[in-house]
Amino acid sequence: QSPMSVRRAAELIAKVARTVSYAHEHGILHRDIKPGNILLDAKGEPHLTDFGLARLVESESSVTQTLDVLGTPSYMAPEQAVGNNAAVSSATDVYGLGAVLYQLLTGHPPFAGGTTYETIKLLEDTEPRPPRLLNPKVDRDISTICLKCLEKDPKRRYSSALALVEDLEHWLNHEPIQARHTGIFARGRKWVQRNPTSALLAASLIALAAAAGWIVWKSELIRQTLTTGIAVLPFENLSEQREDAAAFVDGVQDDILTKLARIADLKVISRSSVMEYREKRNVRQIGNDLRISHLLEGSVRRIGTRFHMNAQLIDTRTDTHVWVEQYDGDFNDLFAIQSEIAQKIAGQLHAKISPAEKLAIERKPTTDLVAFELYSRAISSTPTFRGGTAGSGQQAIDLLNRAVARDPSFFDAYIALAVHHDQLYFFNLDRTPARLASAEAAIQEAFRIRPNAGEAHLARAYHLYNGYLDYEGALAELEVARQTLPNHPRLFRITGFIQRRQGRWEESIRNLERALELDPRNVNTLDNLGDSYAALRRYAEQKSKLDRILAIEPNDVPAKVGRALVELNWKADTRPLHQLIDEIRATNPAAMPKIVPWRLACALFERDVAAAKEALLAAGEESPLGSDAVHFPRPFVEGLIARMTNDEHKAQLAFTAARDEQDKIVQAEPDYGPALCVLGVIDAALGRKEEALREGRRAVELLPVEKDSVNGADMIASYAMTAAWVGEKNLAFEQLAFSARTPAGVTYGDLKLDPFWDPLRSDPRFEKIVASLAPKQN
C-alpha cells in the first residue's frame, strides 16, 4: 500500500524475473503476475506462485477468454485486456513484472479505475505516470526500466524477462542501463558511483545530473495531461460578520458553477465534489483528484448589501494563475458579475458558448437578496439521504418555501423544492399523496416561469421516476433535458437509476460512471454504483467503490458497514461486521444508533439472542429490520426473538400485533407491493397459510422484476420465504432458485446464515442453490 525502498524493489523484481525467465525457457507463460502472486519467505526471498492461468507457449489456450479469468486488470498487459489471446507472449509477463515494479515503487498499480471497465479503458487510452513523479526517491533510470516494461506495443518492451533482469542488475551495480541511450554525463555519474574515490568529479557530475533531472522532471510534470475542465472551489469568506455572510458567499460560488455547467463544451465538476476543498488549497492535488485542468477560486467580502470579490483561474498542471480579476458592487451587480466571470473563464478555456447558453448564463436567478440567501442556505443544508431524515429534508423545504414566498418567480428554488419533496417520498420518509402533490405543484410553477427549461424537464423526470416508477415518461423528459443540460450529473444519475430498475444493468453502470466522472467525489453516486455491483454479485468492484468513499470520508459509517457487508454477502463471514460493531461501540459510541439495523442482522445471523434484544432495545420505537422498500414492524422482530427462545406464546402475541400494524399500512395503500409482501410474511409466521400465499403472490404481481428489478427481487425473495414458512417447499424452491439467478436477489451470505431460511435447510435442493452462489475459488 506504500512504496518500498527503491533498491529493495529492484532486487525483488530481478529475482522474480529470473524465475519467469526460467519458466519461459521451459515454454511456460504465467499470464497473471501481480503482487498477490508473489510471496516472501521468512528470509524475505520472493517466490512466484499461482500458475493457474499459465499455459505452454506453443499450445492453443483452452481457457475461457473472459477478463475475470485471464488476469487482474490493474496488472494486465493491453493485448491481454482486449482478449487477444493469440498475441499473448513472453512480453505479456514482462509487462506484469513492470506493473508489479510500478506498485512497489509508487504504492499504486499503473492503472486503477473504479471498475474493471474503467481500468481497461485507462490501460488502453492513457500512459502510466512516470513513477518518479509519484515517488521522488525513484531515479530516472529505474523509472525508465519500469516504463519500458509497460510499453503498450509488446515489441517495445524488453525482449525477454532475462533482458529485464540484466538491466535491473546494471542499475543495482550503478552501471548504465540498456533501456535508453545514456549520455556522457549519466555514464560519468555511473562510473563515479562505482569508483567513489574521485570525490570532486563525483560532486560536479551529480550536480549536473541533478540539474538536468530537475528540468526533465518539470517538463514531464507539465506534460501530464488532465481533462480540460474546471472545478469552482468554495469562495473564501472574508466578511467581518462571517456567519451572516456565509450563505451569500456560498451562493456566489454555486451560481458561478451553475452558469458554467450550462456550457456544453465545458466539463464542470459538480458542487458536491468540491465542497470538501473549502480549506485545502493544494492545487495540483485537487487537479489530480478531480481530473481537471483548471480551478476557479476566489474570495468575497460583504459589507451590508455591497461586496468586494476576487476571482482567479489557476492551471492545476503548473499551479500558475491564468486569469485574475477583482470586482466591487452591490447586490444589483452580483449576477452580471458572475455571468461575466463565467464567460471569461469559458474564453480562457476556449469553450464555445451558444446563443442559448449565453442567454441562460446572463439570466438573473432572483432580484431579492433575502430569497437568494434563503435558497443558498437550503442548498447547503440538503441531506445526502444516506442517513438523512425527514426532519433534515423538511428544514431545506421550509427555507425554500420562504424563498419563493419572497420571490414567486425564483425558478431555481422551485426546482429544489420539487427534488426535496420527491426525495422524502421516495426514501419512505413521508410516503403520502400530499408529498407527491407538493412536488408536482413546484414543478408546475417552474414550468410557468420558464416553460422550456431543461432543469424543469429534469425535475419532472425525477418526479415521474420517484413517485410513479414511470420509466418511459421519465426517460422522455430526460431526453428533452439533455438538449440544454448535456453535462448535468443528475441527468446521468437518474438515467442510470431508471435503467437499473428496468434490469438494464450494464447501461445503468455506464451512466452512473459518467455521472461520477462529472462529480468524482460524490459519495452517493459511489454508493449507488457499489449497490449495483452488489446486486450483480460483483463484490470486488463493490468493494472498490466503497474504498473510494472511505478515501474521501475515512469516518463514513455507512461505507464502513458496506465494506463489512461485502464479506458477509460474498463469503458468509460475519466477523468483519461484528468487529466493526465492537470498534464503533468502543471508539465512536455516538454512531451506534446509525448501525442498529446491522447490529440486529449480525445478531440474527450469529443466532445471538442477547445481542438481538440489545439491538431491538437500541432501536427505540423504530423497527430495525428491512431493506429500502421492505420494512417489518417492530413487533415482528419481537416475535422473531421470542421464537428463537422457543417462547411460542409470546411470539404469537407479537406477530399478531405486527399484523394489526401492517394491515393498516396495506389498507391505506392496497396496491403497494412491498407493504403487501411484509403482510404475507407475517401471516406465514402466524400460520395463516392461504392468506400468506395470496398476499405474497399479489405482491409479486404488483411489483414484478420486469417493472422494478431492484424491489421486485425483494418481492420474489419474500414470496419464497413465505412459502417456506407455510410448508410449500416446491413453491419456495421455485421462487428461491429464480431469486438466486436474478440480480439483486438472495446472496450466499443470506442463505448460509439467515434464520428465515431455516425451514429449507435439510433439503438437498437448498444446498444446491447455496452452492450456486458460493464464492468461486481463484
596/776 Cα distance (integer angstroms): 31
pTM recorded for the entire structure: 0.64
Q: Give the model confidence (pLDDT) of 623-674 as tens digits.
A: 888 887 889 999 999 999 999 999 999 999 999 999 999 999 999 989 999 9
> Tell me, what's the pLDDT at 777?
63
Across 471-495, average pLDDT:
92
Let me know: does 277 contact 290? Beta carbons within 8 Å: no
Stretch among 73-77, 109-113, 545-549, 711-715 having the lowest mean pLDDT: 109-113
Q: Give the model confidence (pLDDT) of 516-542 as tens digits.
A: 998 888 999 999 999 999 999 999 999
Cα separations (Å) of 25 from 64, 71, 103, 134?
25, 22, 26, 35
Task: Give the HSE-up count for residue 608: Cα atoms under 13 Å, Cβ half-sphere.
Answer: 15
Predicted confidence (pLDDT) at residue 225 exceeds the cutoff of 70? no
56/38 Cα distance (integer angstroms): 21
In terms of C-beta density within 10 A (0-12 exposed, 13-18 middle, 19 or more buried), how is residue 452 classed? exposed
Name the percent of the chain lying above pLDDT 70. 88
Structural domains of the chain ordered from first start: 6-180 (1.10.510.10), 229-364 (3.40.50.10610), 367-486 (1.25.40.10), 489-554 (1.25.40.10), 560-773 (1.25.40)
Q: C-alpha 557: how far from its chain's center?
A: 15
Spell out the residues 6+ positions from residue 518 whose beta carbon is closer than 8 angstroms to its own.
267, 268, 269, 270, 487, 488, 489, 492
> Tell me, what's the pLDDT at 185?
40
> Tell me, what's the pLDDT at 72?
62
Predicted confidence (pLDDT) at residue 208 exceeds the cutoff of 50? no
Across 99-119, average pLDDT:
83
Across 216-222, average pLDDT:
38
Paired residues of 267 in beta bridges: 229
| Higher-pLDDT residue of 366, 85 | 366
Q: Looking at 210-279, which runs of residues are DSSP E strands?
A: 229-232, 236-237, 267-268
Q: Give the model confidence (pLDDT) of 744-759 as tens digits.
A: 999 999 999 999 999 9
Spell out the residues 6+ positions from residue 666 whose beta carbon is closer than 8 angstroms to its own.
672, 675, 676, 679
DSSP strand pairing (306-315 vs 320-330): antiparallel
> Tell me, what's the pLDDT at 281?
67
Predicted confidence (pLDDT) at residue 212 exceeds the cutoff of 90? no
Q: Give the model confidence (pLDDT) of 532-568 as tens digits.
A: 999 999 999 999 999 999 998 999 999 999 999 999 9
Across 346-365, average pLDDT:
87
Across 755-778, average pLDDT:
92
Predicted confidence (pLDDT) at residue 112 exceeds the cutoff of 90? no
> Tell me, what's the pLDDT at 52?
54
DSSP 493: H
Let me know: does 717 contact 745? Beta carbons within 8 Å: yes
In terms of C-beta density within 10 A (0-12 exposed, 13-18 middle, 19 or more buried), how is residue 92 classed? buried
> Tell me, what's the pLDDT at 2?
67
Q: What average pLDDT does the structure give for the chain?
A: 86
> Tell me, what's the pLDDT at 215?
37
**Cell numbers for 265:** 463544451
Q: Give the model confidence (pLDDT) of 26-61 as tens digits.
A: 888 888 899 988 998 888 899 998 765 554 443 333
